[in-house]
């Protein structure tokens, strides 16, 4: 016992956090006063905003704001509960229906935070022992979702379909050695529509071919491409003209084009309904404040009524790309 007391006396832990140097670049944030729209006041100076994800310019749209005001007058700010315990409002149900109709899928499910959407969706389906093929340049939220799922991760080179096919073939030979295990191991490919880290679009038609050849399911993360690509803004599936039922799960966040907060997943009921009981960010967290859901519904209305904004956005992008490339 004497020894134990001595050991306890002697043990010194590390400090809880290491000290951060005062001039660390990430320590002192830029302070934005006023709304972070196209003209933004940073640290007192007025600038043109090329840094926010406000792709369709809906952040300071008057119609969106008045819809949110109406919702605020009716419901207050917070929902005071998760979806299961009196936190489901009629606005949430309406937003889910509208999103499902817009994306032409059976069902949609809403999360209260964009990051948590894909980070809760992946572990709901992929468990320990399953295999996930994911692109090297996948965003951080996908990486966290994969880490939480404890599955086997196989990375393939960014947008390189030959590399992915090589990995799939290797997996096939593995399967033939142990067919019993192969029958219960689920396989997924996780890709993004428009990659946050590189700005490329994923080659979706080739992915669909690989999906049916090797029997893997596809999860598509469309945070940046929702409301940007495609004739009506439905994302990369519309951009390539692919049947949306071929993608098992589409996940996106509403914090970019829709200028609100939160995220959603859409797909067939067979797949989406499972998340209502096993999506951690859905079951164990408070639901989205109704004013943000109302703002998202109004933004969707604007997107549906004015499909020419996508063409405007595209022409501006092409102009900037051409000008920068010289």
From the list 160, 245, 304, 318, which residue makes contact with another protein (rule: CB under 8 A)? Answer: 245
Q: How far is the CB of 89 from another protein (least distance, A)?
A: 6
156 beta partners = 135
- Give the residue carrying structure tokens 């956005």: 313
Rounded to an integer, what distance in angstroms lies between the CA atom of residue 286 and that of residue 111? Answer: 9
- The structure tokens listed for 280 are 């951690």
Query: Which range of residues in 89-97, 155-163, 224-232, 304-312 is near another protein by CB under 8 A?
Result: 89-97
Report yes or no: 247 and 95 within 8 Å, Cβ to Cβ: no
From the list 2, 24, 46, 177, which residue makes contact with another protein (rule: CB under 8 A)? Answer: 24
Write the interaction track for another protein spanning residues 109-148; mark x where CB under 8 A is met and - where it is not.
Answer: ---xxxxx--x-----x-------------xxx--x--xx
Q: Which residues, 6+ apart, have CB-to-CB distance to 111 below 8 Å?
A: 117, 120, 262, 263, 264, 265, 279, 281, 282, 285, 288
**Angle between helical axes of 114-125 and 140-149 (0-180°, round to 10):** 30
Regarding 152 and contact with another protein (CB under 8 A), the answer is no
Region 248-277 residues binding another protein, contact defined as CB under 8 A: 253-256, 258-261, 268-271, 273-274, 276-277
Query: Which range of residues in 47-55, 152-160, 161-169, 232-240 is near another protein by CB under 8 A?
Result: 47-55
Query: Which range of residues in 155-163, 232-240, 282-290, 306-314 is near another protein by CB under 8 A?
Result: 282-290
DSSP 171-205: HHHHHHH-HHHHHH--EEEEEESB-TTT-PBP-HH
Regarding 308 and contact with another protein (CB under 8 A), the answer is no
Q: How far is the CB of 86 from another protein (least distance, A)?
A: 5
Regarding 186 and contact with another protein (CB under 8 A), the answer is yes
Angle at 305 between CA 241 and CA 116, to 5 degrees: 65
Region 189-228 residues binding another protein, contact defined as CB under 8 A: 212, 215-217
Cα–chain-centroid distance for residue 76?
Answer: 27
Regarding 38 and contact with another protein (CB under 8 A), the answer is no
Closer CB to another protein, 17 or 162, in the complex: 17
- Tell me whether residue 254 is exposed, middle or buried, using C-beta atoms within 10 angstroms of its C-beta: 0 to 12, 13 to 18, 19 or more: buried
Regarding 167 and contact with another protein (CB under 8 A), the answer is no
Regarding 14 and contact with another protein (CB under 8 A), the answer is yes
Q: How far is the CB of 326 from another protein (least distance, A)?
A: 27
Rounded to an integer, what distance in angstroms lies between the CA atom of residue 144 and that of residue 186? Answer: 19
Report yes or no: 110 and 276 within 8 Å, Cβ to Cβ: no
Regarding 312 and contact with another protein (CB under 8 A), the answer is no
Region 53-72 residues binding another protein, contact defined as CB under 8 A: 53-54, 59-60, 64-65, 68-69, 72
């Amino acid at each position: 016992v004497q020894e134990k007391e001595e050991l306890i006396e002697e043990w010194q832990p590390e400090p809880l956090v290491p000290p951060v140097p005062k001039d660390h670049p990430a320590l002192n944030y830029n302070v934005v006063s006023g709304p972070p729209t196209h003209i933004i006041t940073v640290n007192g100076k007025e600038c043109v905003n090329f840094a926010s994800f406000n792709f369709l310019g809906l952040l300071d749209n008057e119609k969106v704001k008045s819809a949110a005001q109406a919702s605020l007058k009716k419901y207050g700010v917070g929902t005071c509960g998760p979806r299961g315990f009196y936190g489901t409002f009629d606005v949430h149900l309406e937003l889910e229906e509208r999103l499902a109709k817009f994306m032409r899928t059976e069902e949609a499910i809403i999360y209260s935070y964009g990051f948590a959407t894909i980070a809760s969706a992946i572990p709901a389906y992929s468990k320990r022992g399953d295999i996930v093929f994911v692109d090297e340049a996948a965003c951080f939220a996908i990486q966290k979702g994969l880490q939480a799922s404890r599955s086997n991760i196989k990375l393939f080179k960014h947008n390189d379909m030959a590399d992915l096919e090589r990995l799939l073939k290797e997996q096939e030979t593995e399967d033939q050695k142990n067919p019993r295990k192969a029958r219960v191991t689920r396989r997924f490919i996780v890709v993004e529509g428009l990659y946050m880290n590189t700005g490329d679009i994923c080659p979706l038609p080739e992915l669909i071919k690989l999906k049916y050849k090797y029997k893997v399911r596809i999860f598509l993360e469309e945070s940046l491409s929702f409301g940007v690509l495609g004739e009506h803004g439905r994302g990369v599936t519309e951009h390539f003209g692919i049947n949306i039922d071929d993608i098992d799960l589409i996940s996106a966040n509403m914090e970019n084009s829709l200028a609100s907060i939160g995220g959603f997943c859409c797909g067939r009921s067979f797949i989406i309904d499972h998340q209502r009981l096993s999506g951690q960010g859905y079951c164990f967290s408070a639901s989205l404040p109704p004013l943000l859901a109302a703002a998202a519904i109004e933004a969707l209305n604007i997107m549906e009524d004015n499909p020419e904004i996508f063409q405007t956005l595209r022409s501006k992008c092409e102009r900037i790309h051409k000008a920068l490339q010289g």
